[in-house]
Amino acid sequence: MRLFTAIRLPAEVRHHLCAAQQELDASRAMTGVKWTPAENLHVTLKFLGEIRQEDSARVIDELGKVQVLPATLFIDHITGFPKRGRAHVVVGALAGECEKVGAMFDQIENACALIGVPRDRRGFTPHVTIGRSRDGVNLSKYRGEGSFPGPSFAVESFDLMMSTLTPRGPIYEALATYKGR
């Protein structure tokens, strides 16, 4: 099973990001970008990778020990990864109470380490992936004037998600939802 933890986005935030995708897609600099469908837009907390089905119950239990820290976030602007040169991943950068989401990420890292999932080598950068490009794109001219910041949203839970890869793109399914106490 291919698993990750995520914060799902409310409809109005997904709608706002889809409008940004359309605006970016109209730009000649954005050719070759595969845009993330609205139903797949989310904040990835941790990608766990392939987990054996027989180990999934332990994953679910360990993640249940993570304290959900309520937070308010918003998409501040559009940027890309890597930060230098042509971006291969187009993202909505998160702002607001990101330190609380970072603290949840740290707890998830600790819980996953107990079940043998390696820690991420890079630090947590809160974002929503809105598109990917094999050749890379130049985002330096996109300003999104009047479009950002986006609508704020409350984080009150996170999900353990299963990703099934298909020729049309990934299909995501929530296996467990973890809410604040």
In the predicted structure, residue 29 carries a pLDDT above the cut 70? no
In whole angstroms, what is the distance from residue 7 CA to residue 161 CA? 10
> What number does CATH give the domain 2-176?
3.90.1140.10
Report pLDDT digits (tens) over 96-148.
Answer: 999 999 999 999 999 999 999 999 988 899 999 999 999 988 887 676 667 78
Domain boundaries along the sequence of the chain = 2-176
Mean pLDDT of the chain: 92
Q: DSSP letter string over 11-65?
A: HHHHHHHHHHHHHHHTSGGGTTEEEPPGGG-EEEEEEEEE--GGGHHHHHHHHTT
Residue 181 scores a pLDDT above 70: no
pLDDT in tens, 34-58: 999 999 999 999 999 999 999 999 9
CA distance 167 to 170: 8
pTM to 2 decimal places? 0.92
